[in-house]
Structure 1
Amino acid sequence: MITHIEGKLVEKNPTDVVVDCNGVGYFLNISLHTFSQIPNTEKVKLYTQLLVREDSHTLYGFSTVEEREVFNLLISVSGVGASTARTMLSSLSPELVRDAILSEDIVTIQSVKGIGTKTAQRVVLDLKDKIIKVYGSLPNSSKSSNTNRNEALSALETLGFARKQAEKACDNVLKNHPQATIEEIIKQALKNL
């Protein structure tokens, strides 16, 4: 198993790079996220994942270990292949993919070209527990904002809004303003309902 490649950057394109490692040129498929992270210096180090299929051996390169982990989680989902996972990581940062799965944000996942509603739901269903085991819950959801969220939800339900709509509105507010007070959450959520 090849875990990383360190060497001279020979060629850099938005979808792939060639790294010369002691006279051997390795062709690595990359995401746009990795492309933006690779410095234009001569020496480069990329974390890799080798996918072996009946008809090909394909090497993927990543700027961080976390991006590689998210890629591996994505390709473990039925219906999500390597090219779809790479497209996801080109459209969204690894952190955004992880946070979208944790917060069950189907809309963000669906915004990626080639991912429909069923695939987005399957990604969330299959990966949420795995991501919680590895990374824990959402990093920006502290206990105080969780309490504030629950109280704001209760208030919105009392005002007659459906729980699902109220949850979505509150989560959108907390995504942009994690330390919002109960009043701020309610005011912003009402604007979106």
Structure 2
Amino acid sequence: MAIGGKVLSLQCKTKGMIEYIKGELTEIEPTTAVIEAGGVGYLLNITLSDYGRLRQHAGQQLKLFVEEVIREDAHSLYGFMRRDERAMFRMLVGVSGVGPGTARLILGEYDAAELQMIIAQNNDKALKAVKGIGVRTAQRIIVDLSNKIKDLPATFISEGASESTFDEALGALTTLGFASAAAQKVLQKLYREEPSLSTEEAIRRALKLF
């Protein structure tokens, strides 16, 4: 953008001061949600996947993990129900050519565990299926994130399923030698079907699915 003969680059900066926002979900649309906390309504950009999860909680108290995206022309907040998806969002916007909007589209199509599998398997076709992702960008995402996805936090939040229960089951499976991404995907399927599963039962059922 040119101002007074000078060109200003619109750089994107993330990792701000807000870790999460907890309050009442007062408004919900396919791309945005409003959380009221302390008398202030916070407008957060959300993924299509989180819209599907959030719309049934309108008027209820909940917590969204927040990522601040600061540009010279805008200051936006992105909200995520799951910490691992925020971590993946941060990784995606760190890839050249992938902005917050594109990262949100990707996470609307695939959750964090699915993206881990896609990247680990060099599946650029799956990434190209997302609107706006071409061959070069898909390949760049895979190359840039293939090593970083190992550090993605294993967090799964579901109605009735606690983070500790999920993490304990995941830890046990990885200790047994199963890949973290594959174990997360199996556990997510199990907890979606039956959120009240105990750690022990989740492990037993997961072992039968490998």
Gaps of 5+ in 1: 142-177, 180-193
Gaps of 5+ in 2: 1-16, 154-173, 184-208
Post-superposition offset of 1:98: 1.7
Post-superposition offset of 1:40: 3.3
Does the aligned pair in 2 maintain the 1:9–1:19 contact within 8 Å? Answer: yes
- 1:86-142 superposed Cα distances (whole Å, 9 cap, x missing partner): 01111122221121011111111111000001000000000011112446955338x
Alignment correspondent of 1:48:
66
Alignment correspondent of 2:182:
140
Alignment correspondent of 2:39:
23
In the aligned structure 2, how far is the partner of 1:5 from the partner of 1:122? 32
In the aligned structure 2, how far is the partner of 1:115 from the partner of 1:123? 10
In the aligned structure 2, how far is the partner of 1:138 from the partner of 1:3? 25
Matched, 1:10 2:26: yes
> Which SS does the other structure have where 1:90 is aligned?
helix
Does the aligned pair in 1 maintain the 2:105–2:130 contact within 8 Å? Answer: yes
> Which SS does the other structure have where 2:69 is aligned?
strand
Alignment of 1:26-175 (within 5 A): 26-38=42-54, 39-134=57-152, 137=179, 139-140=181-182
Does the aligned pair in 2 maintain the 1:103–1:138 contact within 8 Å? Answer: no
In the aligned structure 2, how far is the partner of 1:42 from the partner of 1:134? 29
Structure number with larger C-alpha Rg = 1
TM-score by length of 2: 0.64
In the aligned structure 2, how far is the partner of 1:43 from the partner of 1:138? 31
Over aligned residues, Cα RMSD in angstroms? 2.0
Q: Which letter does structure 2 place at the counterpart of 1:64?
A: R
Identity of counterpart residues, as a percentage?
38
Q: Which has the higher contact order (CA 8 A, sep 6+)?
A: 2
In the aligned structure 1, how far is the partner of 2:144 from the partner of 2:21? 30
Q: Which structure dedicates a bigger proportion of its chain to helix?
A: 1
TM-score by length of 1: 0.69
Post-superposition offset of 1:41: 4.6
